[in-house]
Amino acid sequence: MYAILDIETTGGKFNEEGITEIAIHKFDGHQVVDKFISLVNPEKVIQPFVVNLTGINNKMLSTAPKFHEVAKRIVEITEDTVLVAHNAQFDYRILRTEFKRLGYNFERKTLCTVDLSKRLIPEAESHSLGKLVRSLGIPVSDRHRANGDALATLKLFKVLLAKDSDKTIIKGVIRKETHGELSERQLDIVESLPSETGLYYMHDKYGEIIFLGKSSNLKKRVNQHFTNTGNRARQLQKATKKVTYEKTGTELIALLKENEELRRNRPRFNQKLPAVNYSYGIRTKKNENGYELLKTEKTRNHKGFFAVFNGLVAATNFISKVTKEFELCEQLNGISASENHCDNLDRNDCFGACINREDPENYNSRVYKAISKYSLVDKSVVLIDKGRDTGEKSVILIKNGNFEGLGYCELNHQINSPSILESIITPMESSANNLHIIESYLRRKRVQKILELSYSS
């Protein structure tokens, strides 16, 4: 659990500042579950430059509650949370100073989004809150007011969590906690997992991920882990001290993140991933009469193939599908067993390419249309689908046939601006495995929208 925090102060000498406004959003990693926003009477004069910056003046604060009047609420909303702030050292110091004046020792773990963004978005021109969120296309209102900056920090933190493929943020937080065997509270957490699509992570007492998986129903799948029998299942149950999760919105995002994070984290209870996740490919080859044939071959290399598959049956079924969809020749593509012409010719339901009755150029144009529809080779597109919550979209970027990464956004201009889009996405390896995952998904399911982009090769 996180407490996204922003504080405005009076300015002045070090450790003599007073709080003028505070905003805290309690965030469970997926949604805000509580919030506290208030002006605070600092009982001292605000520096003129702060008034000009924030718009908060002494008159506005004359009737605001004093810090001792809101202290209990701050303690309650931040209890058992990690404080998250942009330049967390400053906000945490101010809070601790105010509590010391009351004779109370306020201690919380902290995360700084400045430090996190420097590690996860190193290419950013600036890591100041205003410039950073602007470069990510994150809408901001009421800058230099506590709630406006807290909301901007919250949206930035969501981006950082999505970009953190190594899961160092969540592992670091869990590592600092004290773990025993699964408590009733932790079992309640498992029970309250959403029945949604995403990834789940099973952690040991050190916070390390010992198993990760994907599911279209997180709650059901994790519950199965705790009810499975067998020696290895019992070992996993005993070693698991905490379960966390990440909603992905779609199965395709879950598949890609699972593939990426398994390779990065190598959890000890997961099976080792194969070097390549396909074994057959389909390429085109012209026969002596100039007709393009669809040929299936065994391969462990995506290069030269416009589609790859897990096995021979899947590849053969795909050829059969596109042959019917684009009115291609069954005999030329090996679907018909006839040596001379396909069975359709006898039913007058064939263009007759196998016996040279159709011009090769006309016939081949349909082959190329089939390839264009089902292949990402040399394409620059954004796959747009539903996000994790209402109003959000998931995006997958393909640039010149290479998988660049994935992310989430709320505004159309974030998608339509290539520079903003590339700053939002979590970069991922453009491996043949990832391209195979995407192409396989698109062959059997649809996404909400495929947007073509203009990139030079």
Q: What value does the mean pLDDT of the chain take?
A: 86
Residue 211's pLDDT is what? 96
Residue 229: CA atoms inside 13 Å, Cβ hemisphere, count? 0
Q: Output the pLDDT for position 441.
A: 94
Residues 58-82: pLDDT tens digits?
888 989 999 999 999 999 999 989 9
Going along 41-185, which residue ranges are E strands? 82-85, 109-112
41: which DSSP letter? Answer: B
Each residue's pLDDT tens digit, 284-340: 999 888 999 999 999 888 888 988 999 999 999 999 999 989 988 888 888 766 666
In contact, 425 and 397? CB cutoff 8 Å: yes
What H or E segment, with its residue span, contains residue 199? strand 198-203
How many angstroms separate the most distant Cα atoms in the chain?
96
Residue 184, SS3 per DSSP: helix
Cα angle at 270 between 203 and 436, to 5 degrees? 120
Residue 457 has pLDDT above 50, yes or no: no
Greater pLDDT, 310 or 412:
310
State how far the Cα of 204 lies from the Cα of 243, in Å rounded to an integer: 9
Closest CA to 307 of 438, 395, 445: 438
Q: What is the pLDDT of residues 9-35, one digit of tens each?
A: 998 877 788 999 999 999 988 889 999
pTM of the model: 0.68
pLDDT tens column, 174-192: 665 544 444 455 566 666 7
- Total residue count of the chain as it appears in this document: 457
